[in-house]
Amino acid sequence: MRKRVTLKQLAAELNLSISTVSKSLKNDPEISQETIERVKKLAKEKNYRPNALAVSLKSSKTMSIGVIVPDILNNFFAKVLLGIEKEATKNNYKIVTCISSESYQKELDYLDMLSYNGVDGFILAASQESQTKDLFEHFNDILKDDIPIVMFDRVVEDVYCDKVIVNDKQSSEDAIDKLVASGCKKIGIVSNIQKLSVGLERLEGAEKALAKYGMTTEILKLKKKDEFEDQISKFIEEYNFDAILGLDETSAVSAINAAQILDKKIPNDIQIIGFTDGILSKHSYPKLTTISQNASKMGEEAARILIDKLELRAERYLPETKVIKTKIIERGTTK
Amino acid sequence: MRKRVTLKQLAAELNLSISTVSKSLKNDPEISQETIERVKKLAKEKNYRPNALAVSLKSSKTMSIGVIVPDILNNFFAKVLLGIEKEATKNNYKIVTCISSESYQKELDYLDMLSYNGVDGFILAASQESQTKDLFEHFNDILKDDIPIVMFDRVVEDVYCDKVIVNDKQSSEDAIDKLVASGCKKIGIVSNIQKLSVGLERLEGAEKALAKYGMTTEILKLKKKDEFEDQISKFIEEYNFDAILGLDETSAVSAINAAQILDKKIPNDIQIIGFTDGILSKHSYPKLTTISQNASKMGEEAARILIDKLELRAERYLPETKVIKTKIIERGTTK
DNA sequence: TTTTTTATTGAAAGCGATTGCTAAAATATC
DNA sequence: GATATTTTAGCAATCGCTTTCAATAAAAAA
């Protein structure tokens, strides 16, 4: 069994003091070239690496970012995580990932734990519970401790921090525009995320666009307990839609299946557009036309903003809100 | 802006020594009840919490587990992660998640970084590159430093550590049995994971079962560059299969779509079974009959094994290999 | 009253690294 | 040859906490 080597041990073996060894490793000009080389040689031999804990304790910087996501099974969040990871790694930061499972309590616990574990900053999306119950003081508490937070996607209006969002409202307007342009007369909205800030935004955009064309907004809010396909096929039959806008990926894909059940041809009898360019969109039949939120880019952006803030600590600056542009990816469910 | 309070500050305010304060917070019998209460009162008021870094440095235990997964977008790994997270949290451990992106180099870097950051142990699935190139000394190096590893799913034979796997071979045998029992005469295998240990296992099981029924093994190894659906539909037409076993979820779902393209009715004209009970299986049309690996349970199990080892450090014990049982989840693609 | 016990608190070392300051040795200046 | 200057290396404090051991004071026993 190997033993991790410390400065102390190197010093002993070299007959030098700990400080000399430490300085040598940092190429301190105070130390003679000869000594530096001697030290480095042994350090390399023994595979010396500074104990990150000790360094952090001293410098009160851990080079780590706490990331809290509501649901890791959600492809969107997974992608964002990937983006964060990429950018963080590039800048020598590591990430500590926690999953709030949409629970306020877990979110709070993690915030607390991570802050006492010394993460340098947070990147997070609020849990559903925090959003619906309008709980956000726990975020402010962290900010008060001077630990920066960057929120993404599920942001909280009342928390004064950096944010990265997507122009959800505009996107669903665009989607409706597109559907109308291709001849749709009766468009239905299906949502499985009624309670989320993003769900509201998207709905608002759709309503606005629909109104513009003198169309009424018919929305189906999916109920967890029943089969989505059944709920949607009834909805389609009732109104005889020629297009469906799914406010999230699951709704849209379920709408595809519902259309199949009703034996409607996609995209001829009915067109479908969804949100979130996840794994489902690419594996449905036909493949789903969807609004991509550039999840990975969102993550990168969030990490970049946080790291900038961390490194440029010197100057206080105002929180910014970065809007990531969506793009519509046309596949088989639209004409 | 608030300031994190330390023992020193509490001590000063209470006119006590640091050690007394520390002991009081731990209900040390050496300290008088009166003092204990005085200390606790102020600590609560000031919201004192020990600095985790300092505690870790002292105890050389960080209460954290390094988790390395090859791909977080993969629903299976995400589920395992969820299981790990759940079990770890329950035992007061936190997890530091890294994503190797199937790269050997990243895997190595993370292993190195995390070990110097003092994680107490590792839970990981080998990257594809490590598996195909048969690279595993980096794992042994960690073990040499006396940091325990628990591998799951993608395990490496030559590394002597705890493992959690699934009875892949048996599962695909069972799947073939089931197909034959329901009358299939010509079964094709489709795989997108030829290079992985699990892919090999599953193939082996299928071959064995096929041979048992005097059937030949026809396998299609998917090529990334072409559309999966096209490759599969050609494959089906060529052999006129009445059943497909997809060795991974993507293959199986693509097979469903391929059948639709060929206008074959599922499950009457052709039956399909897949692996991994992920999100795709539930949203395909028809829904996919699949072999569930109990991903979340796998994660929990891995975490439990690791934590047991961590806490029971005392007695050396032999590495164990836990086999998680799969179960077949029947949905719409089989009779 | 003196000695022993017990109760209570504090001093100090240590975890591993960083860093400002000091001391000693080597070199330069007059 | 004596003093001033530069190199080079080490001391010691510090980060925040834990823990052993010593110290003091008060109470009990002799």
Q: What is the mean pLDDT of residues B162-176?
A: 95
CA angle A43, A46, A52 (to 5 degrees): 70
CA-to-C1' span, A41 to C29 (A): 38
Do A197 and A300 lie in one domain? The reply is no
Q: Give how far Cα B177 sits from Cα of B122, B236, B243, B332, Å.
A: 37, 20, 12, 18
Scanning B215-254 for CB atoms below 8 A from A yields 250, 253-254
Q: How confident is the model at residue A312 (pLDDT cuts 50, 70, 90)?
A: confident
Q: Give how far Cα A96 sits from Cα of A66, A87, A119, A315, Å.
A: 5, 14, 8, 26
Q: How confident is the model at residue B315 (pLDDT cuts 50, 70, 90)?
A: low
Establish if A114 belongs to a structural domain: yes
Which residues from chain B sit within 8 angstroms of residue A66, using beta carbons?
none
Q: Which domain holds residue B260?
A: 168-293
The answer to whether the Cβ–Cβ distance between B279 and A284 falls below 8 Å is: no
Q: What percent of chain B has pLDDT over 70?
A: 98
Per the prediction, chain B carries an average pLDDT of 94
Establish if A56 belongs to a structural domain: no
Q: Is the CB of A3 under 7 A from strand C?
A: no
Q: What is the mean pLDDT of residues A267-290?
A: 96
Residue nearest the C1' of C10 (CA based): B17
Contact A119, A310 (CB under 8 A): no
- Is A332 touching B (CB cutoff 8 A)? no
Q: What is the mean pLDDT of residues A255-264?
A: 95
Contact B253, B226 (CB under 8 A): no
- Is A133 touching B (CB cutoff 8 A)? no
pTM for this entry? 0.90
Q: How confident is the model at residue B2 (pLDDT cuts 50, 70, 90)?
A: low
B96 has pLDDT over 70: yes
Which residues from chain A sit within 8 angstroms of residue B85, using beta carbons?
98-99
Do A287 and A301 lie in one domain? The reply is no
- E strands, chain B, are 64-69, 94-99, 121-124, 149-152, 162-166, 187-191, 218-221, 243-246, 271-275, 289-292, 321-324, 327-329
Q: What is the DSSP letter of A94?
A: E
Do B174 and B278 lie in one domain? The reply is yes
Q: How confident is the model at residue B314 (pLDDT cuts 50, 70, 90)?
A: very low
Q: How many CB pairs under 8 A join A and B?
A: 124
Q: How confident is the model at residue A314 (pLDDT cuts 50, 70, 90)?
A: very low
CB neighbour class for B236 (10 Å; exposed up to 12, middle 13-18, buried from 19): buried
Per-residue confidence (pLDDT) for residue A254, from 0 to 100: 97
The answer to whether the Cβ–Cβ distance between A257 and B79 falls below 8 Å is: no
Nucleotides of D under 7 A from a protein CB: 7-22
- Is B211 touching A (CB cutoff 8 A)? no
Q: Which amino acid is at B73?
A: L
User: Which chain B residue lies closest to A142 (C-alpha atoms)?
Assistant: B2
Whole-angstrom distance, CA of residue A48 vs CA of residue A50? 7
A197 has pLDDT over 90: no
Per-residue confidence (pLDDT) for residue B4, from 0 to 100: 83
Do B133 and B201 lie in one domain? The reply is no
Q: What percent of chain A has pLDDT over 90?
A: 90
Whole-angstrom distance, CA of residue B170 vs CA of residue B179? 14
Whole-angstrom distance, CA of residue B273 vs CA of residue B27? 59
Do B146 and B74 lie in one domain? The reply is yes
Establish if A196 belongs to a structural domain: yes
- Beta-carbon contacts of residue A160 (< 8 Å; ≥ 6 apart): A140, A143, A319
B317 has pLDDT over 80: no
CA angle B154, B160, B165 (to 5 degrees): 30
Do A226 and A308 lie in one domain? The reply is no
Q: What is the mean pLDDT of residues B237-266?
A: 96
Supply the CATH number for residue A254's domain: 3.40.50.2300
CA distance A263 to chain B (A): 12
Do B45 and B72 lie in one domain? The reply is no
Establish if B331 belongs to a structural domain: no
- Which candidate from B94, B118, B250 shows the least CB-CB separation from A113? B94
Q: Transcribe A49-65 into DSSP letters.
A: ---HHHHHHHHT---EE
- Which candidate from B57, B78, B98 shows the least CB-CB separation from A73? B78
Do A288 and A175 lie in one domain? The reply is yes
Do B84 and B116 lie in one domain? The reply is yes
Establish if B56 belongs to a structural domain: no
- E strands, A149-284, are 149-152, 162-166, 187-191, 218-221, 243-246, 271-275
Q: Give how far Cα B80 sits from Cα of A114, A238, B74, B146, Å.
A: 22, 41, 10, 25
Q: Is the CB of A35 under 7 A from strand C?
A: no
Q: Residue A161 has which token pair? A: 């921090």
Establish if B2 belongs to a structural domain: no
- Which candidate from A85, A260, A283 shows the least CB-CB separation from B99? A85
- Is A256 touching B (CB cutoff 8 A)? yes
For B23-74, the pLDDT digits (tens) are: 999 999 989 999 999 999 999 999 999 999 999 999 999 999 999 999 999 9
CA distance A201 to chain B (A): 25
Whole-angstrom distance, CA of residue A248 vs CA of residue A193? 7
For A67-92, the pLDDT digits (tens) are: 999 999 999 999 999 999 999 999 99
Q: Residue A253 has which token pair? A: 């894909």
For A143-182, the pLDDT digits (tens) are: 998 899 999 999 999 999 999 999 999 999 999 999 999 9
Do A160 and A307 lie in one domain? The reply is yes
Do B72 and B140 lie in one domain? The reply is yes
User: Which chain A residue lies closest to B251 (C-alpha atoms)?
Assistant: A283
Contact B143, B122 (CB under 8 A): no
Do A45 and A111 lie in one domain? The reply is no
Q: What is the mean pLDDT of residues B200-215?
A: 96
Per-residue confidence (pLDDT) for residue A4, from 0 to 100: 82
User: Which chain B residue lies closest to A286 (C-alpha atoms)?
Assistant: B257
Which of B47, B53, B61 best tests the A interface by mutation, with the highest count of A CBs <10 A?
Answer: B53
Count how many domains chain A has: 3
B271 has pLDDT over 50: yes
Establish if A330 belongs to a structural domain: no
The answer to whether the Cβ–Cβ distance between A117 and B53 falls below 8 Å is: yes
Establish if B73 belongs to a structural domain: yes
